[in-house]
Amino acid sequence: MEDLKKYIRDIPNFPKEGIIFHDITPLLQNAKAFGQAIDAMADMIKGKSVNYLLGIEARGFIFASALAYKLNLGLVIVRKPGKLPYKTYNASYDLEYGKDMLEVHRDAISDGSKVVLVDDLLATGGTAAAVGNMVRRLGGEIVGYSFLVELTELNGREKLKPYPVWSVLEFPI
């Protein structure tokens, strides 16, 4: 999997000074690299008892939808407020400069549904932890969290304990 790292473009000082942004768009543009990434993520989930993959807006949709197709699983999407047409349940979480919120349809996750949460990147873990809390409050069971990229120095996986965290690529910040 190390050769997939060559498809991640580092952009210094984005979105602000001192940050190195790990841009996944070159990986998405390369069919072979994208396929390898999806295969690697699928291999980490395969064989586990799962009902749904839950894609977190926005880049999590890319990976969760491809994985849902590959693994023949249902897909649940988590969106920013006001984007879902039916009754929703929401979770707020802290950002560097304030708060944000995500929503899911109330009927998307039923009691006992086994869910893997999918996103492109694990940084501090705040977003994934908030979505995990929302899943549990709706009666779902978290099987694990799946990411393409993990920024290991930010220790985001600590916020996701005791659940497994599967990452294809690891980067320092």
* Mean pLDDT in residue range 127-134: 96
Of 37, 107, 41, 98, residue with least CA distance to 76: 107
Q: What is the pTM of this model?
A: 0.95
Q: Say what the pLDDT of residue 109 is.
A: 96
Report the C-alpha gap between 123 and 63 in whole angstroms. Answer: 17
* Mean pLDDT in residue range 135-160: 97
* Mean pLDDT in residue range 139-149: 98
With a pLDDT cut of 70, the percent of the chain lying above it is 98
Mean pLDDT, the chain, integer: 95
Report the C-alpha gap between 123 and 151 in whole angstroms. Answer: 5
- The answer to the question of residue 29 being in a domain is no
Q: Which of 52-56, 75-79, 97-101, 165-169 comes out lowest in average pLDDT?
A: 97-101
Would the pLDDT of 96 be above 70? Answer: no
Q: Which of 27-31, 71-75, 93-97 comes out lowest in average pLDDT?
A: 93-97
Confidence at 97, pLDDT banded by 50, 70, 90: low
Q: Which pair of tokens denotes residue 113?
A: 């549904």
Alpha carbon of residue 88 to chain centroid: 20
Residue 154 CB neighbours (<10 A): 15
* Mean pLDDT in residue range 131-145: 97
Domain boundaries, position 61: 48-171
* Mean pLDDT in residue range 114-123: 97
- The answer to the question of residue 149 being in a domain is yes
- The answer to the question of residue 111 being in a domain is yes
Would the pLDDT of 2 be above 90? Answer: no
- The answer to the question of residue 144 being in a domain is yes
Task: Give me the number of domains the chain comprises.
Answer: 1
- The answer to the question of residue 20 being in a domain is no
Residue 76 CB neighbours (<10 A): 22
Q: Could you read off the pLDDT of 71-88 as tens digits, one per residue? A: 999 999 999 999 999 999
Which whole-number Å values give the CA distances from 88 to 53, 79, 146, 147, in the listed order?
A: 18, 10, 24, 25
- The answer to the question of residue 10 being in a domain is no
The answer to whether residues 8 and 25 touch, using CB atoms and an 8 Å cutoff, is: no
- The answer to the question of residue 141 being in a domain is yes
What's phi and psi for 77, nearest 5 deg?
-110, 140
CATH number at residue 89: 3.40.50.2020
- The answer to the question of residue 22 being in a domain is no
